[in-house]
């Protein structure tokens, strides 16, 4: 019979915490494995591979729903167009976020630089926070 892995083993192999693996099962991302006589999960190769896929996708910032779609597309051998669409869409979001964070970084460094490090004479940070007009930057939501 084929090799099986206990949940702790799978956790080590994929650098995932045990409760996280159970969580993925709970939300339907990782299929429920068989259980042994004592009700413990016994995983197979297929689970290991799916879990690696999930973890790599997470490291790349994909959300669990996106990952679910990607896994389904992998299964279905269907059009790679949809895969590309998801990936590009995610990339766009990341680029947006980078742009927003860069603006934020600008605004913050100006805020912080307004008073030299040692001087105790009153610093402007609180005033700028209190009054947006003292701040040269537009900010966005999200």
122 binds, among DNA, its own copies, none (CB under 5 to 8 A by kind): its own copies
- Binding positions for its own copies, 41-70, rule CB under 8 A: 49, 52-53, 56-57, 59-61, 70
| Number of chain positions touching its own copies (CB under 8 A) | 49
Q: Which is nearer to DNA, 18 or 48 (CB)?
A: 18
Does residue 32 interact with its own copies by CB under 8 A? no
Q: Which is nearer to DNA, 41 or 128 (CB)?
A: 41
Does residue 38 interact with its own copies by CB under 8 A? no
Query: Partners of 34 in the beta sheet?
Result: 42
Does residue 28 interact with its own copies by CB under 8 A? no
Which ranges of the chain would DSSP assign to H, the alpha helix?
Answer: 7-14, 18-26, 45-59, 64-76, 80-113, 125-130
Q: Which stretch binds its own copies (CB under 8 A): 1-9, 19-27, 38-46, 91-99?
A: 91-99
- Note whether 40 and 32 are within 8 A (CB): no
Instruction: Report how far residue 8's alpha carbon sits from residue 16's, in angstroms, rounded to the nearest whole number.
Output: 9
Q: Is 77 left (phi over 0), alpha (psi -120 to 50) or beta?
A: left
Q: How many CB atoms lie under 10 A from the CB of residue 41?
A: 20
Identify the H or E element spanning 13. helix 7-14
Instruction: Report how far residue 89's alpha carbon sits from residue 111's, in angstroms, rounded to the nearest whole number.
Output: 33
- Binding positions for DNA, 34-53, rule CB under 7 A: 35-41
- The residue from 8, 19, 132, 136 that contacts its own copies (CB under 8 A) is 132
Does residue 16 interact with its own copies by CB under 8 A? no
């Amino acid at each position: 019979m084929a090799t099986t892995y206990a949940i702790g083993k799978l956790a080590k192999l994929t650098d995932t915490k045990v409760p996280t693996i159970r969580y993925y099962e709970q939300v339907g991302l990782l299929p429920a494995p068989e259980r042994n006589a004592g009700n413990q999960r016994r995983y197979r190769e297929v689970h290991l591979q799916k879990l690696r896929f999930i973890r790599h996708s997470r490291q790349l910032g994909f959300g669990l729903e996106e990952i679910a779609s990607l896994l389904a597309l992998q299964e279905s051998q269907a059009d790679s167009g949809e895969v590309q669409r998801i990936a590009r869409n995610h990339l766009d979001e990341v680029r947006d976020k980078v742009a927003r964070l860069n603006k934020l970084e600008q605004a913050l460094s100006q805020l912080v630089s307004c008073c030299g490090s040692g001087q105790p004479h009153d610093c402007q940070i609180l005033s700028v926070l209190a009054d947006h007009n003292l701040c040269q930057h537009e900010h966005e939501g999200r």
